[in-house]
Structure 1
Amino acid sequence: MSCPICNRETVPAYRPFCSKRCADVDLAKWLGGSYAIPSRDPEDIDRAAEEAAAELAKRKPH
């Protein structure tokens, strides 16, 4: 089996990765939203727009 990040051979201690570094790269992708599945559901689009507007409102100085 090869590491899904760099394609090197896996190491049992970090399986399915070859190293802690590749495991951390994968975790960062999950936390950063790189593995998100896009949706075309109108409810999801509306909710995302509302959340984005709320986030912008929080960031604007008053």
Structure 2
Amino acid sequence: MSTKVSCPTCQTEVVWNAQSEYRPFCSKRCQLIDLGEWSMENHKITSPLQQDYQLSELDKQKLIEEAEAMLAQNQDSFFKD
């Protein structure tokens, strides 16, 4: 028995198997339409904001120092081909 799903773009029924090249989409066209929707930010995955999460000044300084150390470590190779 084959699993069938609806194409997220046009709702056409699609058989979910290895031969379905564009699954869960029915075609390359529907796949590209969906990609365009994501790129235009019409589709989003959101999560609740964590309003009570705040870094202390010490934590902020530590993160800045770590970032600066990483940049200094990679600075010589960053601009080379």
Worse-superposed segment, 11-20 or 22-31 = 11-20
Considering only aligned residues, what root-mean-square deviation do their CA atoms show, in Å? Answer: 2.3
Structure (1 or 2) with the greater strand fraction: 2
Q: Which has the larger radius of gyration?
A: 2
CA–CA distance in 1 between the matches of 2:21 and 2:27? Answer: 8
**Aligned to 1:21, which of 29, 32, 39?**
29
Q: Spell out structure 1 runs of 4+ moving beyond 4 A.
A: none
Give 5+ residue unaligned stretches, structure 2.
50-81
The 2-side partners of 1:23 and 1:37 are apart by: 18
Aligned length: 42
Structure 1 unaligned residues grouped into runs of 5+: 42-62
* Partners of 1:18 and 1:38 in 2: CA distance: 26
Higher helix share: 1
Aligned to 1:28, the other structure's residue is in SS state helix
TM-score (norm 2): 0.43
Does residue 10 (structure 1) correspond to residue 18 (structure 2)? The answer is: no
For residues 1-62 of structure 1, the aligned pairs below 5 Å read 1-10=5-14, 12-36=20-44
With the length of structure 1 as denominator, give the TM-score of the two structures: 0.55
Q: Distance in 1 between matches of 2:46 and 2:27?
A: 29
Q: Identity over aligned residues, as a percent?
A: 50
